[in-house]
Structure 1
Amino acid sequence: MAVLAVPLASATIQESGNLLFVSLSVLMGVSWAMAHILDPRPGVSTGVPGVVAIAAISLVCLQLVPLSPGLVSKLLPWATQNLKVDSGGLAFSEWTQISLAPSLTQSGLVLTVGYCVFALTLIQQLNSVKDVDRLIKLVAVSAVGMAVLGLAQLFYGNGQFLWMFDHPFRSAEWPAKGAFSNPNHFAQFLALGIGPLLLCWADSQKKVKEFGRRRQGPGQPGVIRYATACAIPLVLVAGLLSFSRGGLAALCIATVIGFIAVRKHVRTSVRFLAPAAGFVVLAGVFFDLDHLQSKLNVLAEAETSSEFLQARYILWSALKDAIPNFWLTGAGLGSHAEIYPTWITVEQGVRFSHAESGYLQVLLELGLPGLILLFIGIVYIARCSYVSIRNRKTRNRAIALTAGLTASVLHSAVDFVWYIPGCMILTLTVTAMLIRLRHESVSQDTEQKQRTSPATGLMAWVIILLAFPAGQLVADVGLRDAGSEADWNLYRRDAIKAMESGSLTSMTTLDDNLDQIIGHLERCRTKDPQDYRASADLAAMYLRRFEREQKHSDNPMSLWEVRNTVHSAEFSSPRELAEWLNRALGPHAADLYRALKMCQHSLHGQPMRGESWLILSQIGFLVGITEEQEKNLLEQAIRLRPHRGVILYAAGLGSMEQGHFDEAMDWWKQAFRKDPAVRPVIVKGLAPYLTGRELIEHLDPGTDGLFLMYRELKKLNRESECRVISHWFEEHFDEIAAGSELTAFFWRSSHELFNFNGNSDQAIYCLEQAWQQAPNDFEIRRQLGLKLLQAGRSKEAVRHIKWCLSRRPTDTELL
């Protein structure tokens, strides 16, 4: 049931799927253990898998156990050095756990227990090769079902996963994803199933021969042969339409290895598979050729491979710097997203939930012990595969199963497929079958097969003894995670939409939806009081709501003004301060206290969030901390998020408030260089007061920054300063072009500056280059056609004008 049901929950109800899987795993383990204790039967030796499972669970438990400060300083010296700050009692004094994200590690522990119990129990329940054969068929059916789902959603979908679940920011339609939110994982799932599917097809070939060629009608074996012959290209086409580089490579590797298992039927496979593949492709194309072509065009104009790889290399470089600080015991299972921002040097505009490499993530989160356990498991599985392949009876089965596992091991170097429960369950299922085949291969006689291993009985007792604490852990953590999942997804959806339609300089859309967003987060906290991520975001939203209400209040004091007033007034007690805030600001001053409470709560579970330390430094005045302690909190925020633009910008505001102009400009220069999202805020704040030359000198803006400055100055009607920017750009154009990525945006923006300077020839040249980079961009070709016409180059202009009129025949300016 888990093999079929849990992957379907991977996209939008993953926590609910995880809860179902772990519950079923524990029940399966307990039922097997009770049966084995009451009636001992021969089992498969699980010495190595059992030791690895116990060691993995123990390592994660160690990360969660409260330890003495002295022991933490030895096991995790980085935390001792960087998580100790004089906060005036607002936050913890010393960190006492190895995990730097305890709530996420707890969730990871629940899954780890589920994985271990599921795999060890499944190995014991496979009593014979016939059981393995039945499970191979189930894996093949699961892969085919996922492929059909992916194609159905692609061509007949409504954008929802399973036609009923909305993902916060992804559509189920294109590219093919099946029940996964990431097409890479969809392709990897198919890679795990293609070997068993090929084996099923080969087995149907044998049965056809046994059934007899002269029997009237195709018979059941013939139907199965034709069905599997159609299913194989169906799976391959679904994988192709995922447009996943790593996933396609994994699927190709698994398919090539899988064909070795059916090598005796290669000639027949060509005869059956080629027409079937042609039929599937033609059916898809016939369904909607224009739709398919439009999607391919979108993909062709999307993010380039170099940009995609560059983001990964920047992330991996950050992990390379981070891992030496956590090599001994890891930073905590599931903590990657909280850790990497401390070391990433350039903001990528996205949050990397995983390390884009299973090996790097294991090393970061579980340290060297975790990586050693991983490699022990891989070597053991390779040994099982080798022994099984040497045995003639189990050879083809072992090759078919090894195909998907080989693809998984290789794919994990550049992706995080082991961290996706839907993929991991199938991986463990295939692994269990391979271990059972090894047992079959090394068993030489009946007596050896009938012996009961003492280790099997011990494992049964361990499962029974741990059933209650494991069940309690599942009920405590799993139910909370699943309960808050729906509201968390709604929050992500609304917040992402608000940010996409706005920016840091204009938060109108966010403000319009703020109460709804806060409602989602408050319900998350109600259902899961230990949801520290919700607490952190809720603190920021409360603070935003306070600022929104202040803009329209009778006493529109900013947060900085309130803080300065409090410090200068020197209230005798927090109660007196609260009474003054209520009189001066009204009921919405309570949002400041709500933000403080949520911020304090979040830091006890996710201490690496520099944004929370920043908020604490801004509203710590509510409990009477000194300006020196505020400075300590801000320094802590910068220490944990040294490349986060919002934090660096806030540091600049603090310096400016104290009259340190040069220091403020240094902070803003760093923020401007490291975080594109904060650049508009800085430019908008400085453009009214500084000249174009001063903006260039202080911010060292780079190409995109120059364009931003020019447009902001133009909005302010500062024509002379626009002239300074455009002339500087023209003088340094060769140098700028040599150091920039020559995209359509670059050339179009360059055209704007050259055109402002009156350099029409160079402006047209830039538009022509923009057209070369984006030949199907209507606005670029329209603008180029009109510019060429104005320059008297009518023959060249006609080509572009005709192209534009074919798409917008009513454009009066072109007629």
Structure 2
Amino acid sequence: FWFYDHPFTSTLHRVKGTFTNKNHFAHFMALGLAPLAWWLVRRVGQKPGTGRDFTTLAQKAGSGDLVPGVVMCGLGLVVFAGLLSLSRGGALALGVAASSCAAMMYRHQQVSGRLLAGLATSAVLVATCLGFYGFQDVSQRLEEWDPGVRLMVWDANLQVASKFPWTGTGLGTHVEAHPTFLSEPFRDREFTHAENSPVQVASETGLPGLLMCLTAIFGCLTWCQTGLKRGTDPRVATAAAAVTASLLAHLVHCLFDFLWYVPGCMVVVVLLVACARSLATMATADEMTDSFESIPETTGGFRRIGWMMAATVIVLATGFGIQQTGQRIAGDIHWDEYLRLRFPKETAADPDTVPTPAEYRTAARKKHQQRMIALGRTITANPNHARAHLRLAAHYVTMVEELRTGGANPHMPLGQIRQAALGAGFGSDAERSEWLSRPGVLGAHRRHLGKAFAHARQSLALCPLQGMGYVHLAQLGYLNGDTAAASNDLIAQALVIRPHQARVHEAAGSEAWLVGDQETGLAHWKRAFHLDRAVQRRILKKLAAAGLPAQVIISEFQPDWESLVYMKELYKKALPADEYRIVLADYAVAAQGRATNQDGTDAVTSWLLAAGAYRQLDQGTQVQACYENALEENPASLTARLAFGRWLHSQDRFTEAVEHLEWASQQQPDNQKLQRLLSSCRNSASGDHARPR
């Protein structure tokens, strides 16, 4: 809806209704399609033995009965909305619901001319709506199908199920358990569900849970079959056909998406199952009556006691569930607030209000404080939120690092303090505590690090599958006297459960680097380098500070374009000119490579960036080639004309410069600076012509 700002999704580009996922919305539409068709049959369907008249719908409308027309429009809108969600699984579910419902109603002779007319009207409505809006998007989406990622997630979950076949990893643990078994990393992407309901149930609950689900499915299908058997009252059979079609759509869709944790869909499924049970009872009413009559009345008391016990258990379980769910909902409100602060939506920056470095640091500290407040509120509302504990631990560590930049020892990072503490050989806990509490070491900041350690430990107590929890314990364990061996064990455990997490490999590399094992450290950093942009920049800073040659960094880490842009700025500010020129040369080559794979404005921009880099390298031939390529891509580029003309002027090639500067001056006749440059260039060019040769 419009009143809740979800951190990661909106309804701007996909039809989602009240759902955060387009697949769940499309499934909700599919569940309602067959019941709507049943309603239409009940209103306009043909009773056996009567004539089939296509004019009945018009007659009903003329008599004031608008319900059939409304239902037909509803059918069309449901299909249109489901398709407009651009969900392939939802479209498949809609198709299964429609085809199976039609087949079962035809089998029971409930498809009449009037019903066909109504369905045709709905189809025309859907086609008309798609013709006005969305046809190209829908058709293109349905044609796309790449199961690679989905198959990889399924494979990871099957490996989890094979590791824990009898118990699984626990309900709701998929998001934390499956990354351990993924065959390759995914950058900036997290799979909260397994994209397959039975597979996720198998990984979370093992074989017992999967068998329970399969038993429930078999029972539901048995009830549906009973309601559809031949000789059943047509009214019961028609309703059973609608219920069965919806449940079949659900069963097919659950093989390609996880739907069994979505209350908005599962409430409807439970109601449909209850309808299937009631319809099966109605279909076998006589047999059930005979069987009940044969049961001795003495069992009535036992049955009542059994129902009372079941009701008591249900009430107690419901009360506990409401308490737990209410706690989670209260915490998730603040957790979403944290996520909105942590991952703000992109907005257009105001070019007239560029913040100064001091203003930027102040704003960053304010946002950091706001995130910590949101995390604290999350934990207060829901003390069992493992991720909130872990994020708060990380924020405490970051806060201490930030505060210490203005302290008594601003140039000694926490990692070096830790190494000093581990190698000091304190005689007692009191001696270690006294040293750490000194103002020149940690001082008052030790209290914040203690909180970080406590939150990291609590996060692992709640969910031991969080890799960064072990990293924080390893990096902060020295506060409580942990040894280097204990830290190594914790880092090793983090690598086991998060083999593809960039921050874990960054921490492992830092650990190896601090003890002098540069080869192992570089190996971990190379694995982390292309997984996370923030980690990538921290690694580049560490490598530059360690004095590793720029050419070695480029050859070993193979930086992409964004990395080279960052390296260019980093080396320009602080490192020797020779190292900067090495980075600049690779930057120029990369810009040329980008330009050859682009077109239009993007290509022109890349050619100009390459030209600017070659200008700093004093490679005139390459500079001219880049400018000429930019103008070949877009001869009307004012930016390229100006840049080329100014460079030609700086090279004393005035005659050639005049051509480009004159063209630019015609586009910007009010640019006085450009007019003065053009006038100077003309005078210099005429002087060249007048000079005797």
Whether the aligned pair in 1 keeps the contact of 2:608 and 2:640 (CA below 8 Å) is no
- Identify unmatched segments of 5+ residues in structure 2: 350-359, 615-621, 647-662, 675-693
- Relative to structure 1, the CA distance from residue 357 to residue 705 in structure 2 (aligned partners, 3 Å threshold; closer, same or farther) is farther
Whether the aligned pair in 2 keeps the contact of 1:251 and 1:407 (CA below 8 Å) is yes
Whether the aligned pair in 2 keeps the contact of 1:693 and 1:725 (CA below 8 Å) is no
Residue matched to 2:391: 537
Report the secondary structure of 1:334's partner residue.
Answer: coil
Residue matched to 1:597: 454
Residue matched to 1:690: 548
Residue matched to 2:43: 204
What is the alpha-carbon distance in structure 2 between the residues aligned to residue 761 and residue 384 of structure 1? 76
Residue matched to 1:183: 22
The residue identity in structure 1 corresponding to 2:284 is V
Residue matched to 1:352: 191
TM-score by length of 2: 0.75
Q: Rg larger in 1 or in 2?
A: 2
What is the alpha-carbon distance in structure 1 between the residues aligned to residue 171 and residue 479 of structure 2? 35
CA shift for structure 1 position 622: 1.0
Residue matched to 1:382: 221
Residue matched to 2:168: 330
CA shift for structure 1 position 764: 8.5
CA shift for structure 1 position 239: 1.3
The residue identity in structure 1 corresponding to 2:310 is I
Residue matched to 2:690: none
Counterparts in 2 of 1:294-693, with a 5 A limit? 309-344=147-182, 345-391=184-230, 392-393=232-233, 394-445=236-287, 447-448=289-290, 451=293, 457=304, 460-467=307-314, 469-497=316-344, 511-556=365-410, 557-574=412-429, 577-578=432-433, 580-584=435-439, 585-675=442-532, 678-687=535-544, 689-693=547-551
CA shift for structure 1 position 714: 6.3
CA shift for structure 1 position 462: 3.7
CA shift for structure 1 position 609: 0.8
TM-score by length of 1: 0.65
What is the alpha-carbon distance in structure 2 between the residues aligned to residue 604 and residue 182 of structure 1? 31
Residue matched to 2:31: 192
Report the secondary structure of 1:497's partner residue.
Answer: coil
Whether the aligned pair in 2 keeps the contact of 1:747 and 1:767 (CA below 8 Å) is no
The residue identity in structure 2 corresponding to 1:359 is P
What is the alpha-carbon distance in structure 2 between the residues aligned to residue 595 and residue 763 of structure 1? 54
Counterparts in 2 of 1:9-20, with a 5 A limit? none
CA shift for structure 1 position 611: 0.3
- Relative to structure 1, the CA distance from residue 592 to residue 321 in structure 2 (aligned partners, 3 Å threshold; closer, same or farther) is same
CA shift for structure 1 position 278: 6.5
What is the alpha-carbon distance in structure 1 between the residues aligned to residue 671 and residue 460 of structure 2? 57
**RMSD of the alignment, in Å?**
4.8
What is the alpha-carbon distance in structure 2 between the residues aligned to residue 254 and residue 751 of structure 1? 54
Report the secondary structure of 1:166's partner residue.
Answer: coil
What is the alpha-carbon distance in structure 1 between the residues aligned to residue 599 and residue 408 of structure 2? 49
- Relative to structure 1, the CA distance from residue 168 to residue 813 in structure 2 (aligned partners, 3 Å threshold; closer, same or farther) is farther
Report the secondary structure of 2:416's partner residue.
Answer: helix
What is the alpha-carbon distance in structure 2 between the residues aligned to residue 248 and residue 609 of structure 1? 36
Whether the aligned pair in 2 keeps the contact of 1:381 and 1:435 (CA below 8 Å) is yes
Per-residue deviation, residues 735-758 of structure 1 (Å, max 9, x unmatched): xx9xxx999999899757865562
What is the alpha-carbon distance in structure 2 between the residues aligned to residue 710 and residue 744 of structure 1? 25
- Identify unmatched segments of 5+ residues in structure 1: 1-160, 772-779, 791-800
What is the alpha-carbon distance in structure 1 between the residues aligned to residue 90 and residue 631 of structure 2? 37
CA shift for structure 1 position 430: 1.0
- Relative to structure 1, the CA distance from residue 217 to residue 358 in structure 2 (aligned partners, 3 Å threshold; closer, same or farther) is closer
CA shift for structure 1 position 469: 4.0
The alignment-based identity, stated in percent, is 26
Residue matched to 1:267: 116
Whether the aligned pair in 1 keeps the contact of 2:604 and 2:640 (CA below 8 Å) is no
CA shift for structure 1 position 554: 3.8
Whether the aligned pair in 2 keeps the contact of 1:643 and 1:675 (CA below 8 Å) is no
The residue identity in structure 1 corresponding to 2:379 is R
The residue identity in structure 2 corresponding to 1:720 is R
CA shift for structure 1 position 663: 1.9
The residue identity in structure 2 corresponding to 1:406 is L
The residue identity in structure 2 corresponding to 1:259 is A
- Relative to structure 1, the CA distance from residue 748 to residue 708 in structure 2 (aligned partners, 3 Å threshold; closer, same or farther) is farther
Report the secondary structure of 1:552's partner residue.
Answer: coil
CA shift for structure 1 position 437: 1.8
CA shift for structure 1 position 768: 10
What is the alpha-carbon distance in structure 1 between the residues aligned to residue 373 and residue 538 of structure 2? 28
Residue matched to 1:725: 586
- Relative to structure 1, the CA distance from residue 274 to residue 346 in structure 2 (aligned partners, 3 Å threshold; closer, same or farther) is closer
CA shift for structure 1 position 658: 1.5
Whether the aligned pair in 2 keeps the contact of 1:229 and 1:273 (CA below 8 Å) is yes
Whether the aligned pair in 2 keeps the contact of 1:194 and 1:404 (CA below 8 Å) is yes
The residue identity in structure 2 corresponding to 1:424 is M
Per-residue deviation, residues 738-792 of structure 1 (Å, max 9, x unmatched): xxx99999989975786556287799889999x9xxxxxxxx99989999999xx
The residue identity in structure 2 corresponding to 1:253 is V
Whether the aligned pair in 2 keeps the contact of 1:347 and 1:675 (CA below 8 Å) is no
- Relative to structure 1, the CA distance from residue 723 to residue 171 in structure 2 (aligned partners, 3 Å threshold; closer, same or farther) is closer
When the two structures are aligned, how many residues end up with a matched partner? 613
CA shift for structure 1 position 618: 0.6
CA shift for structure 1 position 468: 5.7
Report the secondary structure of 1:419's partner residue.
Answer: coil
What is the alpha-carbon distance in structure 2 between the residues aligned to residue 214 and residue 175 of structure 1? 36
